[in-house]
Structure 1
Amino acid sequence: MLESFRHIRLQEIADVKHLLSPEQLQAPISLTSPSTDVMTDFEKVDPVKVSQEVQVDEALEWMKNQHVRLLFATDKNDAFSGVITSRDIMGSRVMSYMQTHGIPREYVLVKHVMVAKEQLQALTFEQLQHSKIGDVMLTLKDSGEQHILVIDEGLAKVKRIRGIISASDVSRKLKIGFDIMYEAKSFAEIERVVTHGGGI
């Protein structure tokens, strides 16, 4: 069996200076680029999930380890039940739940402060395919949210979460400050910053 394989000669790399990253292969992104360019596509990467029964500070630690600000919460059957963000955990929601129920922080679980799927809205993947990054930025700004979920239907016509767009990813890819999207008085200001750089 081994005789069907061959030894491959290793190469010297003393003259190699660069590491390739996927972003180097992408064309420059602008407000008129397809909005799918800023979507994290769950056909290509796994969504970061957490059980809704996990304690909130453990969930926050998991976010930090995974370098995300949002987790998809799942029930005991591993079905999608909602989302929880770092803002939910570090903001007033946890304290409010503790005071209302008279319990210490260590007993506050993801399910107590997450946003249930019944309260969430999303764009469809089809909508995204017919929109530009500028459209998504305007939608994020108007909603005040930092994430937009994207849904589609599988071959069996089953609705599922297909991906997510985060404001931080959009600002990073456009090379503008994360807060500029929300501080700008008008979309024209955002457009000026993206085109010419600098602040507002």
Structure 2
Amino acid sequence: MFQEFRHIRLQEIADVNYLLTPEQSTTPIGLHSPAAAVMTDFETVTPVTVSQDQQVDEALEWMKSQHVRFLFAVNDNNQLTGVVTARDIMGRRVMSHMQTSGAAREDVLVKHIMVGKSQLQALTFEQLQHAKIGDVMLTLKGSGEQHVLIIDESLASVKRVRGIISASDISRKLKVGFEVMYEAKSFAEIERIITHGGGI
């Protein structure tokens, strides 16, 4: 069975003292770095989705299990219908829907509180290729948003979401301090921290 393979000589590691970390293998990231460096690319990472008909607290548990604070909502045909964040579920949106509809919390679904795709804006992958992180920060600092979507077109001219940039990823990669990063939830807050000290 192993005739086509060969033995590989194992090496001693007595003189090896260090572990490589991702930060060491890449150049430091700053506001002048390419914006693509902070994009989660769905060519290599599978986006986390939820049915728009999922109950909101179940969707929140799904987020926790996947270690994300953002989900793409899809319909029965697996087509994008909107997005929902942990902040949407834990904030006022659920209570507001319950008050206006008279529904109990267990009857509130993702589609009742999500931001529909008609309300979303995005950057194109081509725009991102020519942008710096600082450009993205400037563009989004007035929005109060925590995430921005990146779209492109397939070879068959089908538009799709190619990736996402999150404020938390930017703050982590810019090495904003942990306590500060925990508080910095939007692009605007990160920009304020970097401008007024306590950042990189």
The TM-score normalised by the length of structure 2 is 0.86
Q: Name the structure 2 match of 1:125.
A: 125
Unaligned runs of 5+ in 2: none
Aligned equivalents of 1:61, 1:19: Cα separation in 2: 34
Counterpart in 2 of 1:109? 109
For 1:32, the equivalent position in structure 2 comes to 32
On the 8 A contact 2:51/2:74 being kept in 1, the answer is yes
CA contact under 8 A between 1:31 and 1:191: conserved in structure 2? no
Q: Aligned in 2, Cα 1:9/1:138: closer, same or farther, shift over 3 Å?
A: same
Residue by residue over 1:6-50, the C-alpha shift from the partner in whole angstroms, topping out at 9 and shown as x without a partner, is 444555667766544433311001111110011111111111111
Q: Which residue of 1 aligns with 2:57?
A: 57
Q: Supply the AA of the counterpart residue of 2:168.
A: S
Q: For 1:79-98, list aligned pairs within 5 A.
A: 79-98=79-98
Q: CA RMSD in A?
A: 2.3
1:13-28 pair list within 5 angstroms: 18-28=18-28
**Alpha-carbon separation, structure 2, partners of 1:102 and 1:188:** 40
Query: Per the alignment, do residues 188 and 169 of structure 1 end up closer, same or farther by CA in structure 2, a change over 3 Å counting?
Result: closer
2:188 is equivalent to residue 182 of structure 1: yes
Note the C-alpha offset of 1:58.
1.1
In the TM superposition, residue 113 of structure 1 has moved relative to its aligned partner by 0.6
Which residue type is aligned with residue 46 of structure 2?
D
> Alignment length, in residue pairs?
193
After superposition, the C-alpha distances for 1:39-90 in whole angstroms (9 at most, x for unaligned) are 1111111111111111111111111122211101110001111100011100
Change (3 A) 1:188 1:51: closer
2:72 is equivalent to residue 68 of structure 1: no
Q: Say which SS state the counterpart of residue 142 (structure 1) adopts.
A: coil
Contact 1:32 1:132 in 2 (8 A): yes
Q: Alpha carbons of 1:10 and 1:189: their partners in 2 closer, same or farther (altered >3 Å)?
A: closer
**In structure 2, do the counterparts of structure 1 residues 118 and 126 end up closer, same or farther at CA, with 3 Å as the change threshold?**
same
- Structure 2 counterpart SS, 1:4: coil
Q: Is the 8 A contact 1:181 1:190 kept in 2?
A: no
What does residue 158 of structure 2 align with? 158
Give structure 1 stretches of 5+ with no counterpart: none
Question: Which consecutive aligned stretches of 4+ in structure 1 deviate over 4 angstroms post-superposition?
Answer: 7-19
Q: CA deviation at 1:5?
A: 2.5
1: distance between equivalents of 2:144 and 2:7? 58
Alignment partners' CA distance in 1, 2:16 and 2:66: 30
Deviations 1:92-128, CA, capped at 9 Å, x for gaps: 1001111222121111111111111111110001111
Mean Cα displacement is larger for which, 169-178 or 2-11?
Answer: 2-11
Cα 1:183/1:148, change in 2 over 3 Å:
closer
* Aligned residues with identical type, % of pairs: 68
Hey, what's the Cα distance between the residues in 2 that align with 1:110 and 1:149?
A: 19
